[in-house]
């Protein structure tokens, strides 16, 4: 197991490796760390050795080119993505990179299975979690569970897959999944218990921070059945962890087709309403954007007016990624990259400063008027 975790000194040393290449604003400071504004994701791809090999190479190349944020989840490719990250980290350490330079995040909540879909998923759950006493039948909503013992079991499995003593950020994966089957008050109890377990894990050094990685919860209208209010979620963290709680990160889709985090005022804020990005800033919570390229669907069909807001020579993918990482309140834009050429293409942005706030606001205003 690789010891240590990302530190202020380590991540600052990482940025120093790129002092000649990185434009101002490429690295950002948050939660005492220096993070690259582009992070590598590991969601897509077949569960096979060929994809494994490509991910290991892509992660190594990303770190070598200035990306120190690596995001995965235990259920991605049936645990194979975590293991690819672990293998890449071992190779990177052998190449002279230090654990303290890199920010590693993973997620738990969905049943990960092993290698492929089982013939009978529920039988798998019974054998691995119910009969062993890790969770109860009523804790599961389909293949999703946030019961404390289950999350801690999954956390330790992730540590084993990654080969890390300490994970920097552990996200509860799509907690809103629970709201499809349980009343909201029961959901709050479950989330409170999950947060208490993760606060304990942080005190023990198994994680440094935790958060929520959502798909719909922070984007939908406030009255939607799966909506979550960030102020209420953070209040639960304060209940169990006090003012120094470790709930410091959220992750949600944000891109040109899904700009709700910056446009939709669906979050309680004081006596009124604000956007997710505004409320997160109020609370000191760091926001990562997932699906920055919407799984490749934002790499074509750009309107002419938007093309003109970027310098010549940008590809559609680079324009989409540049918009996301330039949005005020977004610390890191995650993009899935399983091939070295994609890594090299996307990380060419390290040499370019973010768009000006005025340009980003112009794009957002145009998006607002077209919705």
Lowest mean pLDDT among 19-23, 32-36, 52-56, 113-117: 113-117
Give the single-character DSSP code of 355: P
Rounded-to-integer distance, Cα 56 and Cα 330, Å: 27
pLDDT at 264: 97
For domain 8-370, give its CATH number from 3.20.20.100, 2.60.40.420, 3.30.420.10, 3.30.70.1380. 3.20.20.100
Give pLDDT tens digits for 203-245.
999 999 999 999 999 999 999 999 999 999 999 999 999 999 9
Is the confidence at residue 262, as pLDDT, over 70? yes
Instruction: Tell me the angle at which helices 230-241 and 276-283 cross, rounded to the nearest 10 degrees.
Output: 20
Collect all residues with Cβ–Cβ distance below 8 Å to 317 and sequence separation of at least 6: 293, 296, 298, 299, 345, 346
Average pLDDT of the residues in 327-343? 97
Q: Confirm if 286 and 248 have CB atoms less than 8 A apart.
A: yes
pLDDT at 308: 65
pLDDT at 304: 61
pLDDT at 368: 83
pLDDT at 142: 93
Nearest to 3 by CA among 108, 105, 96, 90: 90
pLDDT at 121: 93
- What is the CB neighbour count within 10 angstroms for residue 172? 23
Collect all residues with Cβ–Cβ distance below 8 Å to 201 and sequence separation of at least 6: 152, 155, 170, 207, 210
Is the confidence at residue 38, as pLDDT, over 70? yes
Q: Confirm if 88 and 60 have CB atoms less than 8 A apart.
A: yes
Lowest mean pLDDT among 6-20, 21-35, 211-225, 296-310: 296-310
DSSP letters along 194-231, please? HHHHHHHHHHTTSEEEEEEE-SSTTTS-TTSTT---HH
192 confidence band (pLDDT: 50, 70, 90): very high
Nearest to 360 by CA among 288, 303, 293, 309: 309
Is the confidence at residue 66, as pLDDT, over 80? yes
302 confidence band (pLDDT: 50, 70, 90): low
Q: Confirm if 228 and 214 have CB atoms less than 8 A apart.
A: yes
pLDDT at 183: 97
Average pLDDT of the residues in 329-338? 97
Query: Residue 156, SS3?
Result: helix
Is the confidence at residue 109, as pLDDT, over 60? yes
Mean pLDDT of the residues in the chain: 94
pLDDT at 55: 98
Average pLDDT of the residues in 362-367? 86
Rounded-to-integer distance, Cα 22 and Cα 20, Å: 6
15 confidence band (pLDDT: 50, 70, 90): very high
Give pLDDT tens digits for 266-299.
999 999 999 999 999 999 999 999 999 985 555 4
Percent of the chain with pLDDT over 70: 95
Give pLDDT tens digits for 319-332.
899 999 999 999 99
């Amino acid at each position: 197991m690789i010891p240590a975790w990302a530190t202020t000194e380590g991540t600052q040393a990482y940025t120093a490796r790129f002092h000649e290449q990185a434009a101002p604003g490429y690295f950002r400071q948050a939660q005492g760390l220096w993070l690259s504004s582009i992070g590598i994701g590991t969601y897509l791809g077949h569960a096979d050795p060929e994809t494994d090999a490509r991910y290991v190479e892509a992660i190594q190349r990303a770190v070598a080119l200035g990306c120190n944020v690596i995001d995965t989840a235990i259920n991605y490719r049936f645990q194979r993505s975590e293991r690819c990250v672990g293998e890449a980290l071992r190779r990177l350490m052998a190449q002279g990179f230090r654990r303290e330079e890199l920010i590693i995040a993973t997620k738990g909540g969905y049943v990960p299975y092993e290698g492929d879909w089982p013939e009978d998923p529920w039988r798998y759950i019974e054998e691995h979690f119910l009969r062993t006493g890790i969770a109860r039948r009523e804790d599961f909503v389909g293949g999703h569970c946030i019961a404390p013992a289950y999350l801690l079991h999954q956390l330790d499995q992730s540590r084993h897959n990654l080969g890390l003593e300490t994970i920097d950020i552990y996200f509860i994966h799509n907690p809103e999944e629970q709201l499809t089957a349980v009343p909201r008050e029961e959901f709050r109890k479950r989330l409170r218990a999950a947060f208490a377990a993760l606060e304990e894990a942080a005190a023990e050094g198994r994680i440094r921070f935790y958060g929520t990685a959502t798909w719909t919860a922070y984007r939908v209208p406030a009255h939607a059945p799966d909506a979550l209010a960030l102020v209420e979620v953070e209040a639960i963290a304060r209940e169990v962890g006090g003012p120094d709680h470790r709930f410091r990160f959220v992750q949600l889709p944000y891109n040109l087709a899904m700009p709700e985090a910056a446009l939709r005022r669906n979050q309680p804020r004081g006596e009124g309403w604000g956007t997710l990005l505004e409320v997160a800033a109020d609370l000191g919570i760091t926001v990562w954007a997932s699906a920055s390229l919407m799984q490749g669907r934002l790499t074509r069909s750009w309107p002419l007016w938007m093309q003109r807001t970027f310098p010549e020579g940008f590809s559609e993918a680079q324009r989409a990624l540049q918009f996301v990482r330039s949005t005020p309140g977004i610390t890191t834009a995650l993009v899935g990259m399983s091939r070295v050429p994609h890594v090299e293409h996307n990380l060419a942005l390290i040499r370019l400063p973010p768009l000006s706030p005025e340009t980003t606001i112009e794009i957002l205003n145009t998006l607002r008027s077209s919705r």
